[in-house]
Amino acid sequence: MADSPLIEEARKQALDVLYDCITPHGFRASALKEGYPQIWSRDSMIVSLGAVTTGDPQLLEACRASLVTLKKHQSSRGLVQLNVNPDNSYVSTENAGAVDCNLWFILGHFLYLEITGDLDFLKSHWLQVKKAMIWLGYQDMNECGLLEVPEAGNWMDLFAVRYNVLYDNVLYYASTLAYEEMRKCISLEADVHPAVVDADGIHERINLLMWIDRSWVASDFAEHLEKLKTIRLEWFMLYHNVGTISSRPYYLPWVAFREFGDWCDGLGNLLAILTGVADRHHTEHILRYMQQVGMAEPYPTKAIHPPIQPGDSNWREYYRSRTLNLPNQYHNGGIWPMVGGFHIAALVRYGWHSEARHLLSLLAEVNHKGLSGNWDFNEWIHGESGHPMGYSKQAWSASMFLYAYHAVYSGQLPLFDKLLKVKPFTAQGREIDKVYKQAGGGPV
């Protein structure tokens, strides 16, 4: 039971939103038809995170139905569709290809198995889970061990993230780990077409390539460069350019051919913490930075910081489309309550409980705000004004409040606790448990 009436009421209202999103085919992304009436692959799987914390059979059945719908509409090559309209089975092709659909599809099955223990359901879906994993393997087009993602090819579907993207590759690590655990559970032999690297290899590559920490010890930096050169000469060349920024207290959002993004991706970094990609040293730097720059102010949590401004090298003219991605809006620094739920969960994971409770209160407050009434559970909020600007009654805004509530008051993180338990021992051996706080971030 929450110690705040607002928080407790927010939980009740969040449940009502989820009930209104239920269809026989799974969770719609929004309870309003003028919002997102489709069953979106990533949305329905993220909605499942909060739904399973309730223990409600009706919500759990909707999680199952979502997986069945996504399975039914998977392409012959293994692509999990971005969304499906349950009323007419229409599959939209408005957006760029979304790599994260396959990733969340695999993680959704892992979550459902964790909660229900239903091996028969997993076995009946295994061919599609396997096809989803094989399809992902082919998105590593140069066989470097990380996914290459097209521009705007994930949840940031109107934003210039591209190539080796943090968010997608963190989920790729988690999905690869989950896939292997599920395969063991149903006693299947190893795949005849294995990925280029295993989960440990993905974990290592993310940390080598996307965390910038130029040690004041020259030999350490040289050793880092040699590791990158051994894996891929392209990365060795890239890291010379990246090294000019010295260090950052967060993972870079993306890296590409001789270029990189230089801003903090909120969801990507939070998922790095939750999945176990980030060690203690990285986690504290990320969470402290997000607090220092106010990524959860006025409400949790902004998609990125700082926003991309017109004239910046990473600005795109399509950001002006429907005025969506102007600075402090939508993916360009807008506040997403869904991301706020992951932020609170990451704080619980790291043990910053007072900050987690504080943000939970703010999350309840922002979900209460509405354009035309109370308890709007809006899609996204202006990053400066704190006023709702997206569609109302968003399933994942409601669901991630439930997940955050569960994290704060139980200390449990479904899916992510399980992933941490099966983290490769070699990955654990590379971790830095000591937090270096001086300028530059690394050992002196």
DSSP letters, 324-368, are TTSTTBTTBB-B-HHHHHHHHHHHHHHT-HHHHHHHHHHHHHHHH
Q: At what angle do helices 353-368 and 5-21 cross, to 10 degrees?
A: 60
Q: Which among 170, 185, 362, 127 is positioned nearest to 273, based on CA atoms?
A: 170
The pTM (predicted TM-score) of the whole model is: 0.96
What integer pLDDT is reported at residue 443 of this predicted model?
42
Domains of the chain, by residue range, sit at 5-423
Is residue 396 within 8 Å of residue 151, measured between CB atoms? no
- For 383, residues 6+ apart whose C-beta sits below 8 A from its C-beta are 302, 307, 327, 328, 329, 333, 334, 335
Q: What is the mean pLDDT of each run of 10 residues along the chain (444 residues)?
A: 87 98 97 87 98 98 98 97 90 86 99 98 97 97 97 95 98 98 87 81 97 83 93 94 89 96 98 98 97 98 99 96 96 99 99 98 97 90 98 98 99 99 94 72 42
What integer pLDDT is reported at residue 440 of this predicted model?
46
Which neighbouring-strand residues pair with 264?
305
In angstroms, the Cα distances linking 413 to 82, 204, 262, 264, 324 are 26, 24, 30, 24, 32
What integer pLDDT is reported at residue 415 of this predicted model?
99
What integer pLDDT is reported at residue 346 of this predicted model?
99
Tokens of 254: 């993306």
Tokens of 301: 């949590």
Q: At what angle do helices 266-275 and 280-292 cross, to 10 degrees?
A: 150
Rounded-to-integer distance, Cα 180 and Cα 112, Å: 15
What integer pLDDT is reported at residue 444 of this predicted model?
35
What integer pLDDT is reported at residue 192 of this predicted model?
57
Give the sign of the dihedral formed by CA 105, CA 107, CA 108, CA 113. positive
The topology (CATH level 3) of 5-423 is Glycosyltransferase (1.50.10)
